[in-house]
Amino acid sequence: PAAWLSVPRSLGEERKGQSKSRPEEAQALVAELKRLMDSPDGRDLTFGVISFYKEQVNTIKNALVDAGIVVSTEESTEIVEPYRELMLPNGRFAERLRFGTVDAFQGMEFDVVFLSMVRSNTRGSFGHVTSPNRLCVAMSRQKRLLIVAGDDGMLRTPGAPQGIIPLVEFHRLSEVRSAARV
């Protein structure tokens, strides 16, 4: 239950700023999320989308709006049906989709979790991805499947810090799918 959605740097690098974003990665992630949520096997699953960066969460929200999963106004953001809730076998309702920063996901679990890595640059700079605590939270929120979306070329840079060894190992164990085919 490990997958990597490869979004190479050639599709677009991270956007610079105090908080990072990568629109191409957000679009690929949301396309795959929608495909899975709409599939017969995905209709009874819960989904989480996590990023290390608030600006990427905003970019993902915009991609969710474009995909018809979220409606956003100046006052609120609302997940639309059938993506909002899931009736469990015990008759209770569960949140079917949630998206946010790593910090907002501490203590939560979802059947399928997408982790947006964001970092894609020629400097080999990984930022928040090197935080062991954040990486632990980000990579342990799934019950069934973790899908990391990101530039797997970053894992092979000479300056890849020791702090991303969990991502390197995860990639080695994962089924890799190219975002160009999503």
Give pLDDT tens digits for 47-94: 999 999 999 999 999 999 999 999 998 889 999 999 999 998 899 999
119-133: b (≥16 Cβ within 10 Å) or e: bbbeeebbebbbeee
Q: Measured between alpha carbons, how far is 98 from 110 in angstroms, rounded to an integer?
A: 9
Q: Which two tokens stand for residue 57?
A: 């969460």
Which comes out higher in pLDDT, residue 164 or 36? Answer: 36
The amino acid present at 170, given as its one-letter code, is: F
Is the confidence at residue 182, as pLDDT, over 60? no
Residue 40: its pLDDT value, please?
A: 96
> What's the pTM?
0.93
Element of type H or E holding 51: strand 47-51
Residue 181: its pLDDT value, please?
A: 58
Is the confidence at residue 130, as pLDDT, over 90? no
Is the confidence at residue 105, as pLDDT, over 60? yes
Residue 163: its pLDDT value, please?
A: 67
Cis, bond preceding 82 (omega within 30 deg of 0): yes
- pLDDT-based confidence at residue 158 (cuts at 50, 70, 90): confident
Q: Measured between alpha carbons, how far is 170 from 121 in angstroms, rounded to an integer?
A: 20
Does residue 57 contact residue 101 with C-beta atoms inside 8 Å? yes
Is the confidence at residue 110, as pLDDT, over 70? yes
The closest of 140, 138, 162 to 150, measured between CA atoms, is 138
Of the chain, the percentage scoring pLDDT greater than 70 comes to 97
Q: What angle do CA 9, 146, 7 make, to 5 degrees?
A: 10
